[in-house]
Structure 1
């Protein structure tokens, strides 16, 4: 599955009616003798919102790098859906297949308006000529309006992105990801640097997305994790593998998690 055509064929056969949309089995990543991931195994169900926590150096970022093709695993397998072997796909092919990633620092086009940022991110033909002469259809405008409401930026669509608050920039970038119509969204510390009010609104946003997209959230803010985890699964990474997994209350009561991460 090394070509773009192969990626498209696999996407058509992606089974999203049940089971896991992401499946990692015994993934190891070794950098110059350092084992960043150590036989890591986990799976994410279709429509699930999964929270990933753990101390610095636990392997959270490396795991996301493997999923998006930025880092190749030393060993193990990573599948998206039933058929796509992520280890055989490029970063571009993986993004095209339906995996979107948001890094901790927001990266928006600051000299463009909120509306223009969403328009530029829209899933469409990005070749020069179609882009230059494109006119948005009513359906496309409706999609942007829908995302604007969802990310709490309706009424700010003509504002320059560079003038937004830190939290609003984070929401805009999430909106830009949603314009790509991803099936799996990876969010790296989405509330870092946010005010309490912005953090609460981000929790509301992710809870609204639950079930419509499969979402993996890497986060250190335990209050925020509690808001979005609800009765879902929280996975704790430590030294490159899964230390514990379960509901938030179960994880918080686990002596191993308390010792290496939460403290007493």
Structure 2
């Protein structure tokens, strides 16, 4: 391939990196103010689609460094809530703040990623033909030039950062493996690692253990619990056994609103929750 053709291919690849990581080219990101120990404020959020209220006056507060589980039946509004937080959906009413000073409703999706919110979708999206190490290296590039990054020598600090993330996600022994050869669970961990390379303050994780083996599920629980503290983590999940294994505070959504909130024990003994969710099998 000629140099211009090679460069064009890399630039297209770089655009793909940006889409996967949900990063953009915004200038200076607003400073995150956690002086009140709350990282996410959702207040009175209402979203309607063709007359159907996906979210109905939803209010939710997530503390800095906490691990929050969000549960609820299908159609409860869980995905729409995450869409609002990440800028994919604009609410009809309400406010969404990241810390004290960042108004999420004024930012684009790439800008929201830039200020420190990472989202992991249910289906893992990794670069299958590249190694685990290269996936993390590309994630570290963020909105920088992929062309420049691929041909620049990595600093010792960058190597150390990748090593730290490999250790965190349990893939240190697979650093040279092609990402496409990983198991489903390992791909999920790699994508979490790609988000961690951006050092998000808030990590949104959608049904992380769907399709995993029991061993992978257990390892995923350990991983998410280990992230809490340094990061705030919001997990949307249907697997109630998994939620019980990691839950500190659980929020139950129903018909677009918060139905109940508290410890797992409080929530699972709440008559309203039993009636609309747990009593119906609870998945």
Distance 1:44 1:114 in 2: 32
1:125–1:243 CA distance, 2 compared to 1 (3 A):
closer
- CA shift, 1:129, in A, is 4.5
What does residue 261 of structure 2 align with?
245
Unaligned runs of 5+ in 2: 1-24
Question: Cα deviations across residues 184-229 of structure 1 (Å, max 9, x unaligned)?
Answer: 0000000000000000000111111110100000001111111111
Alignment of 1:1-264 (within 5 A): 4-5=26-27, 8=29, 10-11=30-31, 14-123=32-141, 126-229=144-247, 232-263=248-279
- CA shift, 1:233, in A, is 1.1
Distance 1:61 1:168 in 2: 23
CA contact (8 A) 2:141 2:149 kept: no
CA contact (8 A) 1:40 1:242 kept: yes
Distance 1:125 1:262 in 2: 43
- CA shift, 1:101, in A, is 0.1
What's the secondary structure of 2:172's corresponding residue?
coil
Distance 1:63 1:195 in 2: 28
Unaligned runs of 5+ in 1: none
Distance 1:4 1:20 in 2: 24
Distance 1:75 1:124 in 2: 32
In the superposition, the TM-score normalised over structure 2's length comes to 0.88
What's the secondary structure of 2:277's corresponding residue?
helix
Alignment length (residue pairs): 256
Distance 2:206 2:79 in 1: 8
What's the secondary structure of 1:76's corresponding residue?
strand
